[in-house]
Amino acid sequence: MSDKLNILILHRMGDPRTWLTSVRDLEYCLPDYAPEHHYIVHNAALPPPKFIKDIDFHGIILGSTFLYNRCLPALYKKTLEDYSFIGNSDAFKIALPQDDYDCSAILEKWMLEWNIDLVYTVCPNHWDILYPTISLDNKIKLGYTSYISEKMIERCKSPKPFSSRRTDVSYRSKLSYLGQMRYTKGTIGNVFVNNIPFSDYVLNISTHPKDTIFGERWLDFIEDSKFVLGSNSGSSILDPEGELAADVNRYLASHRNATFEEVRKACFPEEDGTWNFTAISPRNIEAALLETAQICVPGPYSGIMQPEEHYIPIEPDGSNIQDVLAKMRDTASVGKMIRRCKEAFLAVEELRYRHLVQEILETITHGVSAKRITGTKPDQMEKHIMSYKEFDETCSKYYWPYQRLWQRFKRTAKYLGAKKIKDFLTSRK
């Protein structure tokens, strides 16, 4: 076997213009940190080129955005059809799922059908619940939602001085009614705003999708903030088949102004709080390295962040807001807390991309030897890679511009349709 491994990486980040930096870095970590191997990194928002099925890969990596297809029934069915060749491949296969608690039964069934050799879960416990069969075979390792890159370390050597930052408190999240933990994450921004008794702070807090910040601009946003809000990333609900999520969506469709308590009573009166699936989020890592102080709802945070020592704790209902504001004003203590938090994250070797990549490559190499995988010859593989580059360039030149134009057309048509109805109703008054 050649020293170079043939590796297929599948993600589904969609339009490159909407990629989040932390997600992109995770999906591309192998070619970024070990470029000496042969890679085809395919965006599964596009159909797979036929020649991919003819390649004998040594390793296949299923990224978190690809594995999220399990939560979308029609897309999941198509994924199983389009990528059925993976199940028949002799390659050493590794899955890197996130949000394992969503459609966990579907996810495990998928992993078993495709003969996945190793699953990296971001949930530090309850593996026997999430993966009742796979966990028996010792095919699970602990992973993280994000990792620290050498580029990030370099960028964060001298971040913007705390006193020069324009935003006092920032936050971005999406609103979810699927359990108390996710609801708290979506509402902690509004809780903070509503409990501030005066307006002496510059805030940049939103849960609206249109305010999502992409790419490097997100890091600039965090670096220009003195404080960032945070909540436990994860779920207080286990939804094995996705039925609870479907129930919530149906209920909200017919009860648009429903409160969280009404949704909980109607859709999951007994399930919420039974489980606690949580881990640190990319934002925790980014804020720590960029020396942005964190104001967080208390939680385990993968055992890395402790209240008072690494972040200012805030109650989910904002009941201790006066204590939070007092601690924010103590700039000397805040500075020490920021330094301790940064040091705590940098001290965890398992959080480094170089560690993850080395571990994955060593695992694949061992698996290739055990399975006696030959793999496509280097000269042939290089031709396949060139073919894929041509495919990718064509998509960049034609497919994505067309998709952007089509999406703009749909948004415009929707707006004009809504405006026409509004004008009609107004004229009838």
* 418 in any annotated domain: no
Do 177 and 326 fall into the same domain? yes
Q: What pLDDT is recorded for position 197?
A: 73
The rounded distance, in Å, linking the Cα atoms of 330 and 320 is 16
Q: How would you write the pLDDT of the chain (429 residues) with one tens digit per residue?
A: 568 999 999 999 999 988 988 899 999 999 999 999 999 999 999 999 999 999 999 999 999 999 999 999 999 999 999 999 999 999 999 999 999 999 999 999 999 999 999 999 999 999 999 999 999 988 999 999 999 999 999 999 999 999 999 999 999 999 999 999 999 999 999 999 999 876 789 999 999 888 989 888 999 999 999 999 999 889 999 999 999 999 999 999 999 999 999 999 999 999 998 899 999 999 999 999 999 999 999 999 999 999 999 999 999 999 999 999 999 999 999 999 999 999 999 999 999 999 999 999 999 999 999 999 999 999 999 999 999 999 999 988 988 898 899 888 888 888 777 656 556 556 655
- List CB contacts of 389: < 8 A, sequence separation 6 or more: none
β-pairing, 233-235 with 277-279? antiparallel
Q: What pLDDT is recorded for position 2?
A: 63
CA dihedral (28, 34, 39, 43) in degrees, to 10, reads 0
Do 373 and 264 fall into the same domain? no
Do 131 and 194 fall into the same domain? no
* 416 in any annotated domain: no
Reference 267, options 292, 293, 239, 295; nearest CA is: 239
CA dihedral (128, 134, 137, 138) in degrees, to 10, reads -70
* 126 in any annotated domain: yes
Q: From its phi and psi, is residue 291 left (phi > 0), alpha (psi between -120 and 50) or beta?
A: left
Q: What pLDDT is recorded for position 324?
A: 96
The rounded distance, in Å, linking the Cα atoms of 314 and 297 is 5
Do 164 and 130 fall into the same domain? no
Reference 122, options 105, 109, 110, 140; nearest CA is: 140
Q: What pLDDT is recorded for position 3?
A: 84
Do 262 and 392 fall into the same domain? no
* 74 in any annotated domain: yes
Do 289 and 399 fall into the same domain? no
Do 108 and 154 fall into the same domain? no
CA dihedral (126, 129, 134, 138) in degrees, to 10, reads 30
Tokens representing residue 423 in the block: 């004008």
* 166 in any annotated domain: yes
Q: What pLDDT is recorded for position 427?
A: 62
Are the C-beta atoms of residues 267 and 311 closer than 8 Å to each other?
no
Do 286 and 381 fall into the same domain? no
Are the C-beta atoms of residues 103 and 50 closer than 8 Å to each other?
no
Reference 130, options 231, 281, 237, 26; nearest CA is: 237
Do 242 and 165 fall into the same domain? yes
- List CB contacts of 46: < 8 A, sequence separation 6 or more: 395, 399
* 427 in any annotated domain: no
The rounded distance, in Å, linking the Cα atoms of 345 and 328 is 22
Query: Domain with 359 in it: what CATH number?
Result: 3.40.50
The rounded distance, in Å, linking the Cα atoms of 203 and 169 is 5
* 413 in any annotated domain: no
- List CB contacts of 34: < 8 A, sequence separation 6 or more: 357, 361
Distance (Å) of CA 22 to CA 18, 69, 148, 255, 304:
12, 19, 9, 35, 19
Domain count across the chain: 2
Query: Domain with 249 in it: what CATH number?
Result: 3.40.50.2000
Tokens 């490159």: give the residue. 16
Do 109 and 65 fall into the same domain? yes
Do 157 and 124 fall into the same domain? no
The rounded distance, in Å, linking the Cα atoms of 298 and 300 is 7
* 422 in any annotated domain: no
- What domain range is 387 assigned to? 6-147+352-406
Q: What pLDDT is recorded for position 364?
A: 97
Reference 211, options 175, 182, 247; nearest CA is: 175
DSSP string, 73-111: HHHHHHHHHHTHHHHH--SEEEE--SSTTBTHHHHHHHH
Are the C-beta atoms of residues 96 and 143 closer than 8 Å to each other?
yes
Half-sphere exposure in the Cβ direction for 335 (13 Å, CA) = 6
Q: Which of 308, 333, 349 is the last residue of a domain?
A: 349
pTM of the model: 0.91
Q: Which runs of E-coded beta strand occur in 97-242?
A: 118-121, 140-142, 167-172, 203-206, 225-230, 233-235
Do 182 and 95 fall into the same domain? no
- List CB contacts of 252: < 8 A, sequence separation 6 or more: 177, 258, 263
For the chain, what is the largest distance between any 2 Cα atoms, rounded to a whole number of angstroms?
78
The rounded distance, in Å, linking the Cα atoms of 9 and 66 is 10
